[in-house]
Chains A and B, each alone.
Chain A
Amino acid sequence: MPDAPGLELIAQDLNDVAGGSVLGTYHEHGQGCLIVDPEHVLDILRWLRDEPGQEYRFLSSLHGVDYLPAEPRFGVVYELLNMPRVERLRVRAALRDPGGDELPELDSCVSLFPTAEFHEREVYDFFGIVFRGHPDLRRILMPEDYVGWPQRRDFPMGGEPVIFTRDEPVMPRWYE
């Protein structure tokens, strides 16, 4: 695992390569994470993949996170893996919620990692994050015509309340 100083070195190299794109780094529970600005995420990934010293060639997972109370609300997390050196590195693109019914946008990295095609469709399906340049951005798990982004924290959980016998007077014909 790239340890804390190693992580800082990567951050500095990235900063002078992609100019101030690394917003922050933290190293906890044995794995380093780079918080990056979503505009440069593609160059950072390309650099991390092709740079002779890094070679994080394997993208094991790409998933979305909704940190609702925190300000850069959405996070798109890339779990990179360097197989020969057995090192994992997490890159998180912090996305702001444009508000209203606009959707946050991000460049798609299917050109770099073909495995991201299904992952990105799932993040779009659950969080409404649009990946520019994705070959076939449609909902993958929800029905095609589903409205709403289910895994956002402000989306209601759904399901039905359980009607116990004592509640029947309130709703006499609940079973209709």
Chain B
Amino acid sequence: MSTHRSAPAHGGDILGETGEEVIGTSAVERTAAGEALGPEEELLTINFGPHHPATHGVLRLLVSLEGEVVRDLKPVVGYVHTGIEKNCEDKSYWKVIPFVERMDYLSYFFNMEAFVGCVERLLELEIPPRASYLRVLHMELNRIHSHLVWLGTSALDLGAMSMFFYCFRDRDKVLDLFEMSTGQRMHTRYFQVGGVFEDIPVGFAHNVRAFCAEMPSRLDQYEAILNRNEIFLERTRNVGVVSRERLLELGVTGPLLRAAGEPWDLRKVMPSHCYQDLDFKIPVGTVGDGYDRYRVRVQEMRESVRIIEQALDGLPEGPWIADDRKVVLPPRDELSTSMEALIHHFKLVTEGFRVPPGEAYYAVESPRGELGCFVVADGSAKPARVHIRDPSFVNLQALRDQCVGGYVADMIQNLAMLDPILGGIDR
């Protein structure tokens, strides 16, 4: 079943006139292929719509089908657009963190890291080593959490129902760790400009080690279920293959690109924080089909476990947040003694810190790809512009190349392996 038959109707280059209305007059645009073929061999243009169990969120795909074969596909997004970037413009820098977290709601630590890293770059503020280790620790835990939710829902899409329950059981373990160190399961607002909000409690390291000791065996179980599962192999092998050059042209980053053979991972290429002195490998695929994407992500989970263990071993002592009083709250006990601490505290709490004018772009390797944050500061206490370059928004463009020419069932598999998060796409 060759998936890459040259689809006759490729985009708008066929200019057949459409004759009388074939598929009802729709205010909603129909795809080019749907219109181009004329009345006698009509294509069924349907909405693979906002409310659908297999779209991993409120994504709508306008699909032109010829029987079971997808002739054209047009993603329509914006159904969960919350205007977060506009809201960020009238909040002080502290208050923007909860907004930015809720964009890509599965990898909230990475959103925080992108924004906070960008603001620290604008302020030229160095964070203490303990804070950078804690950040990496929480980000890698979040990567495992995000990949577990992806694995659970994607395997559910392909019919492996039990995977959903296994993965969500382990996900709850990760959320317990987040709850222990940050107080909240999701959207924890744990990263602060200048470091981390609070030091980790005493028993946290022990629990994380217990989790890291048990996680690889769990991953072996999952791989035992799926790796040589006949149905899973049949559904994912050689399906949705897109060449590496085309992916680079489309701006795709993350596991999708690494599965196609391009070893591009911002943790290795532009290592921020303490990634350079941790040794971990980057899984890279060869063929670039659904199966490679699955193997790359599961292997990434194993690498994250190794990173977490090393980060825990090398966790330095010392402050968990910078002590630049212009930006960071002074410790509580100093308020009663020193006058400056009181003034700084009052200034920071009422108006927030000011950032000198400038622009900065700071990118982080999120579970879905390069998550960049572009902040324009105009000297006041509120950012003039916050733009988040979301990996799912860009990777979604590769869906069309994967699905055209394949079957409808493969489209669901491609969408599952793409792992789009609609909060990030629609911001």
A contacts, CB < 8 Å to B: 28-31, 33, 57-61, 63, 65-67, 77, 79, 83, 86, 88, 90, 113-115, 117-119, 122, 126, 135, 138-144, 150-151, 153, 155, 157-158
Does B187 touch A at the CB level, under 8 Å? no
The answer to whether B121 touches A29 (Cβ under 8 A) is yes
The answer to whether B360 touches A63 (Cβ under 8 A) is no
Does B276 touch A at the CB level, under 8 Å? no
The answer to whether A114 touches B372 (Cβ under 8 A) is no
The answer to whether B78 touches A33 (Cβ under 8 A) is no
Does B188 touch A at the CB level, under 8 Å? no
Does B61 touch A at the CB level, under 8 Å? no
What chain B residues lie within 8 Å of A117 (beta carbons)? 397
Does B85 touch A at the CB level, under 8 Å? yes
Does B23 touch A at the CB level, under 8 Å? no
What are 9 A-B contacts defined by CB distance under 8 Å? A29-B121, A60-B251, A60-B389, A61-B374, A115-B252, A115-B394, A118-B396, A151-B85, A157-B90
* Seed contacts A57-B248, A60-B251; 12 additional CB < 8 Å A-B pairs: A29-B124, A61-B389, A67-B376, A83-B248, A88-B361, A117-B397, A118-B396, A135-B11, A138-B29, A140-B77, A142-B78, A157-B87
The answer to whether A63 touches B251 (Cβ under 8 A) is no
Say which residue of B12, B86, B359 sits within 8 Å of A157 (CB atoms).
Answer: B86
Q: What's the count of A-B pairs with C-beta under 8 Å? A: 97
Q: How far is the CB of A35 from chain B (nearest CB, A)?
A: 11
Q: Lowest 5 A-B CB distances belong to which pairs?
A: A115-B251, A141-B78, A61-B389, A141-B81, A63-B387
- How many B residues touch A, CB cutoff 8 Å? 45
The answer to whether B389 touches A118 (Cβ under 8 A) is no
User: Which residues of B359-404 are within 8 A (CB) of A?
Assistant: 359-361, 363, 370, 372, 374, 376, 384-385, 387, 389, 393-394, 396-397
The answer to whether B427 touches A113 (Cβ under 8 A) is no
What chain B residues lie within 8 Å of A158 (beta carbons)? 83
Nearest residue in B to A90 (C-beta to C-beta)?
A: B361
A90 to B389, CA, bound (A): 14
Q: How far is the CB of A120 from chain B (nearest CB, A)?
A: 12
Q: How far is the CB of B135 from chain A (nearest CB, A)?
A: 19
A123 to B402, CA, bound (A): 26
A86 to B371, CA, bound (A): 16
Nearest residue in A to B362 (C-beta to C-beta)?
A: A29
Does B1 touch A at the CB level, under 8 Å? no
A114 to B85, CA, bound (A): 24
A29 to B361, CA, bound (A): 9
What chain B residues lie within 8 Å of A153 (beta carbons)? 89
The answer to whether B393 touches A118 (Cβ under 8 A) is yes
Say which residue of A65, A88, A118 sits within 8 Å of B376 (CB atoms).
Answer: A65
Nearest residue in B to A139 (C-beta to C-beta)?
A: B78
The answer to whether residues A65 and B385 also contact, given A57-B248, A115-B394, A118-B397 and a CB cut-off of 8 A, is yes
